[in-house]
Amino acid sequence: MINLGLDVGERRIGVAISDPDELIATPLTVIEAGNTPEAIANILRLAKEYGARELVVGLPLSLSGEAGSQAEAVISFVEGLKERTELPISMWDERLSTVAAERLLSAAELEGGRRSKRTRDTSKRSRQDASERKGRRDAMAAAFILQGFLDRRRNEKHATRTID
């Protein structure tokens, strides 16, 4: 079954997709989050295009496990999503998913030799590069969210099996 993972932010929504066997989550794309109805329509279009059977949305809890203003905004977004689809929607604790994605991207850039010295260059190209990097980070964070969900689901299936 194919699942879509979502990292809902104020500006962007990172989207990831699972393989049909629910083993691996892969970053897919980024959707602009500014217009909620349009963002929801884009998510549902992707779900239909890829044959997704479930949506997994990251819930940004604080490190203490409490729901702050961003978590409330995500819950509100999910409520709007539920009004537009019959697909099951699961929420998954996304604590530190963006941090993990940022670290992975930084490590990959260092490995690939693409990381340049940080400057205060405000050229259009630098702003575009920064925006593209944030988009990759958001899609990667969605993959971390979805992967955690898939791993947990797989572990629960294995834990409930009985030996004859």
Q: For 13-31, how does the pLDDT look when each residue is reduced to its tens digit (9 = 90+)?
A: 999 999 999 999 999 999 9
The residue that leads in pLDDT, 100 or 38, is 38
Give the pLDDT band (50/70/90) at residue 116. very low
Can you say how many angstroms the Cα of residue 81 is from the centroid of all Cα atoms in its chain?
15
Give the pLDDT band (50/70/90) at residue 111. low
Q: Give the span between the Cα atoms of 99 and 115, in whole angstroms.
A: 18
Q: Give the span between the Cα atoms of 51 and 84, in whole angstroms.
A: 16
Say what the pLDDT of residue 160 is.
61
Q: Which distant-in-sequence residues (6+ apart) come within 8 Å of 98 by Cβ?
A: 7, 137, 138, 141
Calculate mean pLDDT across residues 67-95.
93
Q: Give the span between the Cα atoms of 145 and 59, in whole angstroms.
A: 9
Sequential DSSP letters for 87-115:
S-EEEEE-TTHHHHHHHHHHHHHHHHT--
β-partners of residue 12 are 32
* Contact present, 17 and 52 (Cβ < 8 Å): yes
Centre a 10 Å sphere on the Cβ of residue 25 and count the other Cβ atoms it contains.
25
Give the pLDDT band (50/70/90) at residue 65. confident
**Overall residue count recorded for the chain in this entry:** 164
Q: What percent of the chain has pLDDT over 90?
A: 54
Model pTM score: 0.78
**Residue 50: is its pLDDT beyond 70?**
yes
